[in-house]
Chains A and B, each alone.
Chain A
């Protein structure tokens, strides 16, 4: 079975500050891990994904995440927050041979000027 835990349903940062959104996963098979972003009244947009290979993955809009198998974590970071980063972020896990995504409960990011 697979599951995802996102610590912190709300995170607030100042513009220009570091963004850190936490994600821990549980999977009995090698996981594929994803971060998606959702803006109000929109669908989900992929920020980045880890499947195999390099454990530090870079995504769009300056975001990156590191897969740490020993910690079962896949935290999302961005060095400098921008006002346009305010949105809801979802961590998700799946595995080989299925497109079924298991999502975390989401983290709403607020960015203050």
Chain B
């Protein structure tokens, strides 16, 4: 079955640590995205990539970094510079103009 795999589903981070969230897709979609969801807020775009070895900042990129070395993979690193990292993180791909597919998400909690 084609889809998006996000791992881990739950992640706990100590303050000051960097953590990396995994996103793997086998849909053969070129474009990939990272969104963040906070309670009572919509999804906000962190980073996106339309092609391998290229990525762009979204609306809330500060404190995050990404890489796109393979078409299938778009990992997100939450750095210690992110002041409020506790959130639900969603990876998505896009085919065509508006054919978005979302992964099942990773819940990151700072302890």
The answer to whether A and B come from one shared complex is: no
Q: Which residues of A come within 8 Å of B, CB atoms? A: none
Q: Which residues of B come within 8 Å of A, CB atoms? A: none
